[in-house]
Amino acid sequence: MAQHSYWQLFSSVYSKDVTLAFRQRSEIVNPLLFFLIVITLFPLAIGPEPALLARMAPGIIWVAALLSTMLGLDKIFRDDFNDGSLEQLIASPYPLSLSVLAKVSAHWTTTGLPMVIMAPVFALLMNLEAQALGATVLTLLIGTPLLSFIGAIGAALTVGLQKGGILMSLLVLPLYIPVLIFATSAIDTSSMALAYGGQLAILGAMLAIACVCAPIAISSALKVSVS
């Protein structure tokens, strides 16, 4: 098994998931629409006052991002579990964590990345100052893969259950708290025109840890779910 076959495995699993998402475009569009609608609800609920909205914008954007990531998470292993592809991945001579890494990356490409791209538009809707736009995009860029990794652990644990969706949110949302705290604080700091490199660095460190640890946890969780 040469090195290129590891890459072959990764790219095959990755491209399968991305292709499937593009064939069912609603999978990409729906979380994005959900994100937009949640953000629209807030001004209606708390009033359209620009200053108030700008103050609350980082929190609202990030809570909306958390919720719309949750929306697509259940799908990440569900289809593969139902049609037996997951068993085939386990019975492959390659480490399962590699396939898992590919699947999480594909999930991020189809749900996280569109959010990162659309973030400036949503930030403008919320009256966020121009100087905070960069921070919004950067925190989402580092934070959304982290959400995918942590969320995939919950998805892997609940994929064998009939009604795993709500349970998964219960498992995953508490684990999202540090991401939420540091990301919103980075945006807050940047809107005061202060340096926010520290928060980004912490988010980056958490992402690095998740990259290493999460695939192991996810693959052992998948093995439990399949048995």
Partner 1 sequence: MRITNLLEIKSVTCTKQERCLFESLSFSLEAGQIMQIEGPNGAGKTSLLRIIAGFARPDEGEIFFDKKSIRQYYDEFAAQLLFIGHKTGVNGQLSAYENVCHWLCVHGCKVDKQAYDLLADLGLVGLEDVPVRTLSAGQQRRVALVRLWLNNARLWILDEPFTALDKKGVALLQAQFKKHLEQGGAILLTTHQDLTTHFDELKTLVLEYQF
Partner 2 sequence: MWKWLHPYAKAERAYQLCNTLLPYFAVITVVCLAVGWIWGLAYAPADYQQKDSYRIIFIHVPSAILSMGAYSSMAIAAIIALVWQIRNAELAVISIAPVGAAMTAIALITGAAWGKPMWGAWWVWDARLTSELILLFLYFGVLSLYHAFEDKKSAGRAACILAVVGVINLPIIHFSVEWWNTLHQGATITKFDTSAIDPSMLWPLLINIAAFAGFVGVVTLIRLKNEILQCEKHRPWVRELIGRGE
Residues 13 and 60: their CA atoms lie apart, in Å, by 34
- Shortest Å, Cβ 99 to partner 1: 7
Q: How far is the CB of 132 from partner 2 (least distance, A)?
A: 17
25 binds partner 1 per the rule CB under 8 A: no
**Min CB(102)–partner 1 separation in Å:** 10
Is residue 79 part of the contact set for partner 1 (CB under 8 A)?
yes
Going by C-alpha positions, the residue among 140, 175, 173, 217 that lies closest to residue 71 is 173
One residue of 50, 52, 88, 167 binding partner 1 per CB under 8 A: 88
94, 118, 133, 173: which one contacts partner 1 (CB under 8 A)? Answer: 94
Q: Which of 83, 78, 108, 153 is nearest to 18 (CA)?
A: 108
If one asks whether residue 49 binds partner 1 (CB under 8 A), the answer comes out as: no
59, 194, 211, 104: CA torsion to nearest 10: 40
Instruction: List the one residue from 177, 192, 194, 212 that touches partner 2 (CB under 8 A).
Output: 177
Interface residue with partner 1, options 59, 95, 120, 134 (CB under 8 A): 95
Which residue of 29, 49, 52, 84 would you call a contact of partner 1, by CB under 8 A?
Answer: 84
Q: Give the list of residues 6+ apart from residue 70 with CB closer than 8 angstroms, or none.
A: 151, 168, 169, 172, 173
Residue 130, judged by CB atoms within 10 A of its CB (0-12, 13-18, 19+), counts as exposed
Does the protein bind partner 2 through residue 195 (CB under 8 A)? no
The span from the CA of 179 to the CA of 114, in Å, is 19
CA distance 219 to 209: 16
Cα separation, 31 vs 20, in Å, equals 16
- Residues at the contact surface with partner 1, assessed by CB under 8 A: 1, 5, 8-9, 11-13, 16, 19-20, 23-24, 79-80, 82-85, 87-95, 99, 223, 226-227
Q: Where along the sequence are the contacts to partner 2 (CB under 8 A)?
A: 153, 157-158, 160-161, 164, 167, 170-171, 173-175, 177-178, 181-182, 185, 206, 213, 217, 220-221, 224-225, 227
